[in-house]
Structure 1
Amino acid sequence: MHIEFHGAAREVTGSCHLFQVGRYRFLVDCGLIQGSPEHEKLNREPLPFNAREIDAVVLTHAHLDHSGRLPLIIKAGFRGYIYAHRATASLCRVMLEDAAHLNEKEAERYNRYQAGRGKPRLEPLFDQNDVYTTERHFKPIDYHEPVEILPGVTVTLHDAGHILGSAIVELRLQEGNLSRHVVVSGDLGHVGAPILADPTVLEEADLVLMESTYGDRCHRPWDATWAELGEIIGSARAGKGNILVPAFAVGRTQELLYVFARYYRDWHLDEWHLFLDSPMAIEATALYRQYQGVYDKAAREIVANHGDPFAVPNLRLTRTAEESMRINDIRAGAIIIAGSGMCTGGRILHHLKRNLPFAQAHVLIVGFQARGTLGRALVDGAKHVHLFGEDVPVRARIHTVGGLSAHADQAGLTNWYAHFRNRPPVVLVHGEPSAMDALAQHLRTTLGARVHTPGLGQRLELARL
């Protein structure tokens, strides 16, 4: 009985953990490697395991760094079920179809520009047909419902409070006389965040796998975050500039719409042109409306008293490329929410090219930015960036609103782990080395935890716990 770490080991993306129990092998997550172009090329490398030998997959949530290699393992021969919360299964359809569309467009552009240069054709990483095949493998399950997915392997999902349908995975493993109780945090939500419930607290485990994205810092309090956001909007209104919000289509976008509806009058949002410029975010928001059963108490009360929690009176949904392009005719007074969240593609790039050269423009960074991404370069103070073959000066004001993160911070991670009464060993994954090491030291110092930070490809024998 063991675990092998094939992603998000001493890094943030590509979450993928392989469990072996007796003769059965299953994955928890199978995500894309994201970041710089060099990082993303790794997704085209052969899988580090034989997909035909994988019997099942358990998915923590729909973000592509946790789900994006599912079509690849199916192309490589995986034939089992993918177990996930039913909201996650719905969101994966949206996210994987969008990713397939982008893959196809990327391959088309590459092949058009490289035609006649003697370079081999680039095939999409996966296409729409691969996504349709992947969808047929999903086996939706609910929170708190134990399911035996394989002999000796029972899974129970608990709400992780990160995005719609996100799950903490509780595993009961049995191999002969050896039994182990393993809890995989997935991505833990930020306590007090809008819409969703806080992460479920568990108290018993033999081993905990825990994310560490913000293991080296603490977020601002929510009241201070709302005040900061209101001040930025007020400053931009006075300075007659546009506000660009590179936002993840699932999770962050819905939180922003929810907050805009709540503070609509306080922030004078009626004086702005508001755009949701992302077909995927529009579809994901519709799914958020559908799964109201996982909302927290405050969100349920808003639904009961006011109806749609994402209703912003002057919000325009721009589905087509033509509608998106017309936004760039607006030189001031527009708030534009567009993907991608790390500025690695999508419509936000066109808005950045148009607005970054202007000092009165503002860019709100509202989520984690991986190393090697354009978003990270902006956060780190780049004075020029390269967009669509051109050098673009950065004169716009860049704001990092860290308090809006959908991930637990160091205090949140520590508090969640502290509820385990027996202080089980903890394996840290999904974090840059600096954040992971800081959290490891903090857990050792404050709670006396036994902490492991395995590297890529390393194996942990569960019999030795």
Structure 2
Amino acid sequence: MTVTLQFHGAAGTVTGSCYRVTHPGGQFLVDCGLFQGNKSVRALNLKPTPFNPGAIDFLLLTHAHIDHAGLLPKLYKEGFKGEMWMTGPTAGLLEYLLPDSAGIQESEAERESRKRGRRGNEPAQPLYTMIDAEEALKHRQTTQYYEWIEPGPGVRARFWNAGHIIGSASIEVQVKDGEGKTISIMFSGDVGPDEKVFYKEPEGPAGFDYILSESTYGGREREDYSLEKRRTDLKREINGALERGGNLVIPTFAVERSQELLHDIGYLIKSGEIDPQLVFLDSPLASKVTSVYRKYAKMFDDVQLGAEEPVQ
């Protein structure tokens, strides 16, 4: 029997990352993400799962973003019983992100059910529920960067820093085929970007048989945007708002972007470049995620504020 790889997402569209590897010892997944985007893309989440979740032995998770992890509760709802391997910070983020996603699924189904009720139709069912998210969280297993694990027969894996969000990893996998030959594969996950506050640049070995690489911006020329320029632009906007006597409201994603923004604001305050009277983080989810960053602060490659002076 040969080793086969199938794509069940992030092919033809950016979101919904899910790889399935079948080999003589069984089969496993790398990521199981939610499809996000317009209505037609989101509808892909409602399609029948194209494999038997109960036949999957285990799952390797690159990072906690919902387009890579958002269908995990659905996977357990449909019969998956195996363990999910990830880094410690990824496990910490899932503690908050999966219940948050389940809450969204339940509220959207409730809203759709009200519409259907007015037409006399059957109520809508959520893609998965809070109970499904809680079940998924029971199966988390953590590993350190650079350490080999053996999650199943004939399979070895180790996680490398991907430099994307806290805990993100590129996953090196070695799988034996039917003749006992080892096939080596690198799943990049989401990588970078180049200029990050908290982490070292992405890293990993060479010499693989196959590399499955993120290419979201692979065909796009992007202007270099340094950390120094980002902080200069942020300082200009903050000081401009303060000079006009107003408040500055900055919408941002709860995971990673909020924490980097807090870090930049803290750096600018400490260096005397801005002087806001109060800084609020007005997001329960972002506040919970920030607690994960504090817990794993020793992992940060940050020489400007340091783990001992977190921004409140």
Q: TM-score, normalised by structure 1?
A: 0.63
Asked whether the 8 Å contact 1:186–1:211 carries over to 2, the reply is: yes
Tell me if 1:197 matches 2:185: no
Say whether residues 1:226 and 2:228 are aligned partners. no
- Asked if structure 1 preserves the Cα contact closer than 8 Å seen for 2:59 and 2:84, the reply is yes
Is 1:290 aligned to residue 295 of structure 2? yes
Task: Work out whether 1:183 is the aligned partner of 2:186.
Answer: yes
Fraction of identical pairs, as percent? 36
Q: Counterpart of 2:306 in structure 1: which amino acid?
A: I
**CA deviation map 1:154-210 (0-9, x unaligned):** 010111111111111001111123321111111112234112222123222121111
Distance, in Å, in 2 between the alignment partners of 1:181 and 1:12 is 25
Distance 1:106 1:144 in 2: 40
Contact 1:289 1:308 in 2 (8 A): no
Residue 171 of structure 1 is matched in structure 2 by 173
1:274 lines up with 2:279 in the alignment: yes
Aligned pair in 2 of structure 1 residues 110, 174: CA closer, same or farther (>3 Å)?
A: same
Give the partner amino acid of 1:227. T
Higher strand share: 1
Cα deviation, residue 23, structure 1 = 4.3
Q: How far apart in 2 are the matches of 1:22 and 1:245?
A: 51
Q: State the distance in 2 between where 1:281 and 1:52 align.
A: 34
Distance 1:241 1:110, change over 3 A: farther
Change (3 A) 1:297 1:38: same
Q: Do residues 309 (structure 1) and 310 (structure 2) align?
A: yes
**Gapped regions of structure 2 (runs ≥ 5):** none
Alignment partner of 2:118: what SS? coil
Alpha-carbon contact 2:105-2:129 (below 8 Å) kept: yes
Q: Which runs of 5+ in 1 are unaligned?
A: 312-465
Structure 2 CA distance for aligned equivalents of residues 35 and 110 of structure 1: 18
Q: Which residue of 230, 253, 256 maps to 1:251?
A: 256
Q: Decide whether aligned partners of structure 1 residues 181 and 123 sit closer, same or farther in structure 2, where only a CA change above 3 A counts.
A: same
2: CA distance, partners of 1:48 / 1:269: 55
Counterpart position of 1:377: none
Residue-by-residue CA offset, 1:75-131 (whole Å, 9 max, x unaligned): 111111111112111111210011111222222222234323122211221111111
Counterpart residue number, 2:122: 120
Count residues with an aligned counterpart.
Answer: 306
1:224-248 Cα offsets, whole Å, 9 max, x none, are 2221222222333345555443322
Work out the CA distance in 2 between the residues paired with 1:156 and 1:141.
Answer: 8
Give secondary structure in 2 for the equivalent of 1:237: helix
Alignment of 1:60-459 (within 5 A): 60-175=62-177, 176-215=179-218, 216-218=220-222, 219-239=224-244, 242-264=247-269, 266-271=272-277, 273-298=278-303, 302-303=306-307, 307-311=308-312
SS in 2 for 1:91: helix
Amino acid at match of 2:298: G
Helix, strand or coil for the counterpart of 2:80?
Answer: coil
In 2, the alpha carbon distance for the partners of 1:125 and 1:292 equals: 35
Report 1 or 2 for greater relative contact order, CA contacts < 8 Å, sequence distance ≥ 6.
1
Q: CA RMSD in A?
A: 1.9
Give the Å deviation of 1:267. 4.5
Aligned residue type for 1:235: G
| Cα 1:81–1:244 shift into 2, 3 Å | same
Q: Which residue of 2 aligns with 1:362?
A: none
Change beyond 3 A, Cα 1:242–1:48: farther
Would the alpha carbon gap of residues 231 and 171 (structure 1) be closer, same or farther in structure 2, given more than 3 Å must change? same
Q: In 2, Cα distance between the equivalents of 1:247 and 1:187?
A: 19
Task: Give, in whole Å, the separation in 2 of the partners of 1:6 and 1:26.
Answer: 12
User: Which of the numbers 5, 8, 24 marks the counterpart of 1:6?
Assistant: 8
Determine the C-alpha separation between the residues in 1 that align with 2:166 and 2:212. 21
Q: Is the 8 A contact 1:195 1:298 kept in 2?
A: no
Q: Of 56, 59, 67, which residue of structure 2 is paired with 1:57? A: 59
